[in-house]
Amino acid sequence: MPDAQFSVARLADVYDPLDPDRSDLDAYAAMVREHGARSVLDVGCGTGTFACLLAQRGTEVTGVDPAGASLDVARRKPGAERVAWVHGDATALPPDLEVDLAVMTANVAQVFLTDEAWAETLRCVHAALRPGGLLVFETRVPARQGWEDWVPERSRSVADIDGVGRVETWHELLRVDLPYVTFRANVLFRSDGALLTSESTLRFRERAELEESLGSAGFVVEEVRDAPDRPGREWVFVARRGAPTLAP
């Protein structure tokens, strides 16, 4: 079940204006060019910023997300008509899909809380990649304890949004029970005083755990990069789909 900030229409509509700086996507766009990928799968595409960016540059893009409200926003963006949108999780992907590169931006990899959910997602992505295709994703480094910033005094901000008015946001840290961290996002619409909240739980996996899970799913980790916009705080995994195992 998607979190409210992605699945409630009023929250999805302000998601992009509240986070207008998407320079974090530059590194992913560069990797698409670096590897000459002509087709890309965007897992957890959300409001479609990256998918539409690639589509406008001529890349064949499939975007999948379980939050219908976010996909509604995505479909209104320039270039959206060139993207194949899939409402659901990775298990909903077309069985004949074959792409050069798959991405999970914005720490999407951390929303899969159980080993089973993560393994199933990796299995589906593996099936959607051509032989030798790449999976690229980012995830926060647990030792950096990024959740310490998810408190009102460090997260409060105010934005004036056209057609919406002034919107105030802040986070509250609810539980730290590693590898799980739970927090609440608060969005206050000053125009009518409506306070909408969204509770989220993320899993902070260690590097060795991620490498093992990728290997079990048939991937070969080629490198683990430092996130250029958040040095030392996030890993960017680059993993290649291994050759299919042939039965004896």
Cα 180 from chain centroid (whole Å): 17
In this structure, are 126 and 168 located in the same domain? no
In this structure, are 23 and 62 located in the same domain? yes
Burial degree of 64 (CB within 10 A; 0-12, 13-18, 19+): buried
Tens-place pLDDT, residues 69-120: 999 999 999 999 999 999 999 999 999 999 999 999 999 999 999 999 999 9
In this structure, are 40 and 55 located in the same domain? yes
pTM of the predicted structure, to 2 decimals: 0.95
Name the nearest CA neighbour of 110 among 83, 146, 86: 146
In this structure, are 40 and 81 located in the same domain? yes
In this structure, are 18 and 119 located in the same domain? yes
In this structure, are 189 and 233 located in the same domain? no
Q: Is 91 within a domain? A: yes
In this structure, are 106 and 150 located in the same domain? no
Structural domain count, the chain: 2
First vs last Cα of the chain: how many Å apart?
41
* Domain containing residue 91: 4-143+205-241
Residue 247 has pLDDT above 60, yes or no: no
